[in-house]
Amino acid sequence: MSDIKKVVLAYSGGLDTSVIVRWLQDTYGCEVVTFTADIGQGEEVEPARAKAEALGVKEIYIDDLREEFVREFVFPMFRANTIYEGEYLLGTSIARPLIAKRLIEIATETGADAISHGATGKGNDQVRFELGAYALKPGIKVIAPWREWDLNSREKLMKYCEEHKIPVDFSSGKKKSPYSMDANLLHISYEGGILEEPWAEAEEDMWRWSVSPESAPDTPTYITLQFEKGDPVAIDGERLSPAALLEKLNKLGGANGIGRLDIVENRYVGMKSRGCYETPGGTILLKAHRAIESITLDREVAHLKDELMPRYAQLIYNGYWWSPERRMLQAAIDDSQQVVNGEVRLKLYKGSVTAVGRRSADSLFDERIATFEDDAGAYDQKDAEGFIKLNALRLRIAAGKGRELT
C-alpha cells in the first residue's frame, strides 16, 4: 500500500500528462489534483478541465499566471540583460520556478503528499521543477513518471491510452507538429524532428510567431519604449500591464521578422541539444534595456553587471531561481536599476532591432564634455597626459627590465 494519498500534477491536458494522471492513480492508488498554468502559451487552457474530469479528477486548478509571470520573473531577469551562452533568452527556463511555486502552494492547500511533472529524464526541466520544489518545501515527495515507467515512446503511450480507456482526443484534424514545443508569453521553443540533425536547416513552416526577415515589411517600424526602474511600462506613450506590454512587443517583433534563434546549447544534465526559439518581444526588450542603461548607469556598475550576468544566466538555466545566490545577485541588480528611467526609440526592420534614440532625466551623458566642438573649458584635455602615464607605469617598468612582450 502506497503512503502517497494525494499528488498534485502539473497538467497540460496533452497525451503525456493525461497518461500520467491514470498511471499515478493505478501505480500509487492515490488521488490526483491537476494544475494547469496559463502563462501565455497562446492555446486555450480551459479544455484541460474537461479532460481531467473525464479521468476522474475531483480537484482541478486552472490559474491565469500571465501577469505574475512577466512582472515577477521575466522583468527581473531582463534587468540583468540575461542571456545564456551568448544567445538564449531563457524563455523556458524562467517559467519553471513559477510553476514549481504554484505546485507547492496547491500541495499545501490540498494537503497533498507529493507533486508530479511530465518532464523527461533527459532534460533540464526535471531539474528546474524539483530544485524549486525542494527549496520551497524541503520534505515534499516528487514523482517523475518518465524516470520510473517504461512508456518511452508515443506508440507505447497510445497503447496505454487504449488499454486504460483514457478519453483523450488526439484526432482534432489539425496537423500535428513534428516538433516538441513549449510556449509562454516570452517565447516558443522547438526541439526534435529534423532539428536533431544539427546540419539541417529548420523548415520555414515550423515558425509560428514571426514572418521570415525576407518576408518582413520593406519599411521600418519605429516604436518608443518607456522604462521605470529598469522595467518597461509603456509603448509609444501607452501604459500597459507587464503581460499586455510583452504581448504587444511580441506582435510588433513577429511582424518584422525579429527574434528567431537556432542554437546548440549545453544542457545541465550534460548533453548538447539543438533548439530553435522565437522570442520577438524579448529580443526588442533586451536591446532597449541595454540602450537606456547606456546613458543612465555608471560605467563600473554597468561593467560589473556584465561580469555577473553569465553567472546569473547559468543559475536560471540550471534551475536555481530560488537559491540564495540568485536572490543575492537580484538584490544587487535591482539596486542598480533605480536610475534606469527614460525612453528608447527603436527601429524594427527585417529581423533587426536598432536603438536610434535614448533620453532620460537620469542621464549621465554630458553634451558639454562629450562634444567635438568647443567645450568652453568643461574638460581639460591636458589632464589626459598624466592619466595615460600613470596607467602606463607598470608597462614602462616591465619594458625597462627587458620583459618580452611576445
Mean pLDDT of 111-121: 95
pLDDT (tens digit per residue) in 257-279: 999 999 999 999 999 999 999 99
Phi-psi region of 189 (alpha: psi -120 to 50; beta: other; left: phi over 0): beta
Strand partners, 199: none
Q: Which fold has domain 6-71+93-163?
A: Rossmann fold (3.40.50)
Closest CA relative to residue 361, chosen from 305, 288, 292? 292
Q: What is the mean pLDDT of residues 39-46?
A: 89
| Cβ-based burial of 14 (10 A; exposed 0-12, middle 13-18, buried ≥19) | middle
Q: Is the pLDDT of residue 137 over 80?
A: yes
Higher-pLDDT residue of 405 and 132 is: 132
Average pLDDT over every residue of 79-94: 97
Instruction: Identify the CA nearest to 76 among candidates 88, 99, 93, 94.
Output: 94
- Cα–Cα distance measured from residue 207 to residue 390, given in angstroms and rounded to the nearest whole number: 55
Q: What are phi and psi of 165, to 5 degrees?
A: 55, 45
| Closest C-alpha to 124, from 90, 75, 87, 157 | 90
pLDDT band, residue 308 (cuts 50/70/90): very high
Beta bridge partners of 223: 346
pLDDT at residue 174 above 60?
no
The whole-number average pLDDT for the span 51-64 is 95
**SS3 category, 72:** helix
Helices of type H across 319-400:
324-336, 367-370, 383-400
Q: Is the pLDDT of residue 172 over 70?
A: no
Q: Can you tell me the distance from the alpha carbon of 16 to that of 5, in angstroms, rounded to the nearest whole number?
A: 22
| CATH 3.40.50.620 domain span(s) along the chain | 6-71+93-163
Is residue 355 within 8 A of residue 345, CB to CB? The reply is yes
Q: pLDDT, tens digit, for every residue of 145-163? A: 999 998 887 788 888 888 8
Distances (CA, A) of 386 to 24, 375, 379, 383, 390: 74, 20, 14, 6, 6
Quote the CA–CA distance of 196 and 259 in Å, as a whole number. 21
| Across 104-131, average pLDDT | 96
375 vs 236: which has the higher pLDDT: 236
pLDDT at position 176:
64
Q: What's the mean pLDDT in 300-315?
A: 98
Positions marked active-site: 16, 96, 125, 180
* Residue position matching grid coordinates 524549486: 132
CATH 3.90.1260.10 domain position(s) in the chain: 180-297+340-359
- For 180-297+340-359, CATH number? 3.90.1260.10
Is the distance from CB of 141 to CB of 31 less than 8 angstroms?
A: no
Give residue 311's pLDDT: 98
Q: What angle do CA 14, 193, 39 make, to 5 degrees?
A: 40
Core vs surface per residue 255-276: b (16+ CB within 10 A) or e: bbbbbbbeeebeebeeeebbbb
